[in-house]
Amino acid sequence: MTQTVLEIAELQLHFFTDKGVVKAVDGVSLEVGRGEVVGLVGESGCGKSVTSLAIMGLIPQPPGKVVAGSIQFEGVDLTKISQKELRKIRGDQVAMIFQEPMTSLNPLFTIGNQLIEVVRIHRKVNKSEARKQALEMLRQVGISREGILDDYPHQLSGGMRQRVMIAMAMMLNPKLLIADEPTTALDVTIQAQILDLMKNLNKEFGTSILFITHDLGVVAEMCDRIVVMYAGQIVEQTDRFRLFRNPKHPYTQGLMNSIPKLEDKRERLYSIPGQVPNPHQMPSGCRFAPRCEYVMDICRVSSPELLAVEEGHLSRCFLHQEVKEVATTST
Amino acid sequence: MISYIIRRLIMLIPVLIGMSIITFSVVHAIPGDPARTIVGDKATPAQIQEIRENLGLDKPAYIQYFTYVKDILRGDLGTSLITKQEIAKEIKPFLAATTELAVVAMLIAVFFGVNLGILSAWKQNSWFDYTAMLIALIGVSMPIFWLGLMEQWFFAQELDLLPSNGRLDPRMEFDAITNFYSIDAIIQGNWYAFQDAILHLILPAVALGTIPMAIIARMTRSSMLEVMRSDYIRTARAKGLGEFWVVYKHTLKNAFIPVLTVVGLQLGLLLGGAVLTETIFSWPGVGRYIFDAINARNYPVIQSGILILATIFVVINLIVDLLYAWVDPRIQYGKGD
């Protein structure tokens, strides 16, 4: 990693609801380097989407509020600047694509209108120039059909719409692209095409990608480095090879085991027992303790820190922290 | 778009046929002998016979129906029993008066309703939102005759700012051309009359527009709030679009579709003649024209009046449907998602 594009430090994002405070993001720190693809993985409701929306400044406020920490983008703290300054960065230097291509485009405006809009918000160019740029970008994402700019979203398939969304995000060649489960709603063959497309764009333009997903298969395909989140916290963070070869945190291991394997003759598929904790009533110790198969007494009383288990490999679990202590005493 | 319009026009035919059957039955729905009911107990048999022939009641029902439809298609709506005038000609000024009032009332309702709704949604749960929605709640629950009387008492009597009834100062000399007085005044370059016509319109239009305004405001607000939560609004914000454009371009266009339905329905109702408002403000509109006809048992007028109002209602709904297709490209193609 040569240079950091995005650096989130100790981010705390809370939602102040009638039922109490929900700590949706609780002390998350992560980095995305230039040209790097970082995967943010976890079950639904673990805070990964909220983290990504916080980078964009798209958390509705109230009820949401960043109470501590910082989001440094190219040296600017996005949590400190005004909405107006944030709008200048949004769509231009940081762009985002979403999970639902079917509903993420405005049904009442043409593809052309919506693509050109991005250019015209951020650059002083006339319509025909913006149109040219839009056509070129659509060609880059694999749509070269004549007249596409005058089509409405409903005339396109889900895969095509997601390509349009990607074109829209890439229009101004952003430094960081946030992709929030961009392939979840698509069928498998289209999924592979979209992933290929994003990989190519990453190589060609050097765009850094923060890739949010719950699909470990997609992560293996796409990401250089992986951050695993559980209940608003990071539980494990390392590169792709280490994570798949040697997952440390019991939650990550559970996720790996949940992937069905061909050679496995079991009747029932594995799933992690229990559910993601209710955000209003977080467990007092380790948040994963109630679902963990290796749970110890200490896990129920105090929360583990996110510590290095080896170089470039962080895990939030007492298991390895004890192992490490034992290791140091034996030498 | 053109094929869509043609399709919609063809779909209109069965509606119009149904309507003609219903209006035709108005006279036949009267229990006993309609002719006797119409002329009253003291009529001579000769008079009854005359009415019967006049209305064609001596012929079989299906022949009567076809004659009735044929007459309508020729533009003959029959003759008033009281004034002996052709209804088609007689009803025109009343229709114009009602249309003028309804259109102005609707403009007021749409302008204030839509803007109140947008601002309420934009500033959801603010004091502005609460105040606007309280006004809207009072608006929908307000008995219209009471509002009209209060307006007259306050603005006409106490403040002496606005005329309390009629369409023009009766002392004014004025030639009606289209019977839309404000338009006639402009055509004739009579600015004094134009001003007077507008002043006369204000109180009844506000009274008539209050309920639609309140309904439109509430509809706009809830529709805006729903659209604001949608994914494509998040996309618009993610592009770096300013809040004004997010609201007025991306949200409003989508939120306006259900509002359009309400506007169409309300306009249809207003054009149906608001008997109460027209009575309170002595507005010579079609509502009062038909109301008087009902009191006088003037059956041909009732029949034709209902037919005209129903036709207007259907046509306005057709226009609303066409506007849908214009606003929402998904409709023309006959498949939504």
> CA-CA distance, B53 to B49, in Å (whole number)?
6
pLDDT in tens, A205-253: 889 999 998 888 888 888 889 999 988 888 899 988 888 888 888 888 8
Is A48's pLDDT higher than 60? yes
Q: Cβ of B240 and A121 within 8 Å?
A: yes
Q: What letters, b where the CB count within 10 A reaches 16 and e where it falls short, cover B177-209?
A: eebbbbebbeeeebeebbebbeebbbbbbbbbb
Interface contact B239-A118, CB threshold 8 A: yes
Tell me the CATH architecture of domain B90-332.
Answer: Orthogonal Bundle (1.10)
Find the mean pLDDT for residues A102-128: 89
Maximum CA extent, chain A: 72
pLDDT at B191: 81
pLDDT band at A38 (very low <50, low <70, confident <90, very high): very high
End-to-end C-alpha distance for chain B, whole angstroms: 19
Q: Residue A1 pLDDT more than 70?
A: no
Probe site for chain A from B1, B229, B232, B239 (most A CB atoms < 10 A) = B239
pLDDT of residue B223: 94
Q: What's the CA gap between B152 and B166, in Å, rounded?
A: 12
Distance from CA of B330 to the nearest CA of A (A): 7
A118: enclosing H helix or E strand? helix A111-122
What ipTM was predicted for this assembly? 0.84
Quick count: other Cβ atoms within 10 Å of Cβ A45? Answer: 16
Q: Is it true that the peptide bond before A62 is cis, omega within 30 degrees of 0?
A: yes
Rounded to the nearest integer, the mean pLDDT of chain B is 85
pLDDT in tens, B287-302: 888 888 888 777 888 8
pLDDT beyond 80 at A120: yes
Residue A33: pLDDT above 50? yes
Q: Hey, are the CB atoms on B241 and A87 less than 8 Å from each other? A: yes
Question: Any chain A CB within 8 A of the CB of B335?
Answer: yes
Give me the residue spans of the domains in chain B: 90-332
- How does pLDDT run across A60-93, given as a tens digit for each residue? 877 888 888 889 888 888 888 888 888 888 988 9
From residue B265, give the alpha-carbon distance in Å to each of B55, B63, B134.
33, 35, 23
Q: How far is CA A208 from the centre of its chain?
A: 12
Tell which residue, B132, B324, B124, B127, has the closest CA to residue B225.
B124
Chain A: give the shortest CA distance to residue B232, in Å: 4
Q: How confident is the model at residue B227 (pLDDT cuts 50, 70, 90)?
A: very high
Q: Under a CB-based contact definition with an 8 Å cutoff, are residues A29 and A10 in contact?
A: yes
Angle formed at CA A112 by CA A111 and CA A115, multiple of 5 degrees: 85
Look at residue A102 and tell me whether its pLDDT is greater than 70. Answer: yes
DSSP 3-state assignment of B320?
A: helix
Q: What contacts 24+ positions apart, CB below 8 Å, involve A245-248?
A: A246/A313, A248/A309, A248/A313, A248/A315, A248/A317, A248/A319, A248/A320
Residue B212's pLDDT is 92
Q: Do A152 and B330 touch (CB under 8 A)?
A: yes
Residue A24 to residue A233: CA distance in whole angstroms: 9
Nearest to B231 among A56, A89, A103 (CB): A103
A-B contacts at Cβ under 8 angstroms: 72
Query: Among A81, A94, A106, which would you mutate to test the B interface (most chain B Cβ atoms within 10 Å of its Cβ)?
Result: A106
The residue of A49, A86, A104 whose CB has the most chain B CBs within 10 angstroms, and thus the best one to mutate to test that interface, is A104
Strand runs labelled E in B14-72: none
Q: Would the pLDDT of A163 be above 60?
A: yes
Closest by CA to A251, choosing from A221, A219, A216, is: A216
pLDDT of residue B171 exceeding 80: no
Quote the pLDDT of residue A331: 38
Work out the minimum CA distance from B233 to partner chain A, whole angstroms.
8
Lowest mean pLDDT among A314-323, B78-87, B239-248, B291-300: A314-323
Whether B328 has its CB under 8 Å from any CB of chain A: the answer is yes
Cβ–Cβ below 8 Å for A87 and B336: no
Average pLDDT over residues B18-41: 75
Burial class (CB in 10 A: 0-12, 13-18, 19+), B40: exposed
- Chain A, nearest residue to B227 by Cα: A106
A15 DSSP β-pair partners: A22, A64
* Residue B273 pLDDT class (50, 70, 90 cuts): low
**Residue B327 contacts A where some CB pair is shorter than 8 Å:** yes
Determine the Cα–Cα distance for residues B253 and B248; give it in Å rounded to an integer.
Answer: 7
pLDDT at B87: 87
The tokens for A306 are 């996110």
Which among A239, A256, A227 is positioned nearest to A316, based on CA atoms?
A227
Q: Which of A56, A106, A152 sits opposite B250 (nearest CB)?
A: A106
Q: Rounded to 5 degrees, what are φ and ψ at B222?
A: -70, -35
Indicate whether B245 pLDDT > 80: yes
Q: Which of A58, A89, A108 sits opposite B234 (nearest CB)?
A: A58
Closest CA to A205 of A167, A244, A175: A175
Burial of B5 (0-12, 13-18, 19+ CB in 10 A): middle
Question: Which B positions 240-299 lie with beta carbon below 8 A of chain A?
Answer: 240-242, 250, 253-254
pLDDT at A45 over 80: no
According to the model, what pLDDT value does residue B112 have?
Answer: 94
d(CA B231, CA A98): 8
Give the gap in angstroms from C-alpha A90 to the nearest C-alpha of chain B: 5
The tens digit of pLDDT for each residue in B147-163 reads 888 888 888 888 888 88
In A, minimum Cα distance to B229 occurs at A60
Task: Quote the CA–CA distance of B236 and B244 in Å, as a whole number.
Answer: 11
Taking each helix axis from N to C end, the angle separating B252-271 and B191-228, rounded to the nearest 10 degrees, works out to 130
Best probe of the A interface among B1, B235, B254, by most A CBs < 10 A, is: B235
Instruction: Dump pLDDT digits (tens) for A252-304.
Output: 888 888 877 777 777 777 788 888 888 788 888 888 888 888 888 888 888 88
d(C-alpha A33, C-alpha A206), whole Å: 11
- Residue A327 pLDDT > 50: no
Both tokens assigned to B60: 């079989």
> Token pair 């990504």 is at which residue?
A52
- Cis? peptide before A63, omega within 30° of 0: yes
Inter-CA distances, A192 with A97, A221, A222, Å: 16, 9, 11
Q: For A37-41, A73-77, A164-168, B192-196, which range has the lowest pLDDT when averaged over its residues? A: B192-196
Number of H helices, E strands in chain B: 17, 0
Helices (DSSP H) in B123-250: which residue ranges?
A: 127-141, 144-151, 181-187, 191-228, 231-238, 243-245
Q: Is the pLDDT of residue A2 over 60?
A: no
Nearest CB neighbour to A107, from listed B237, B330, B335: B330
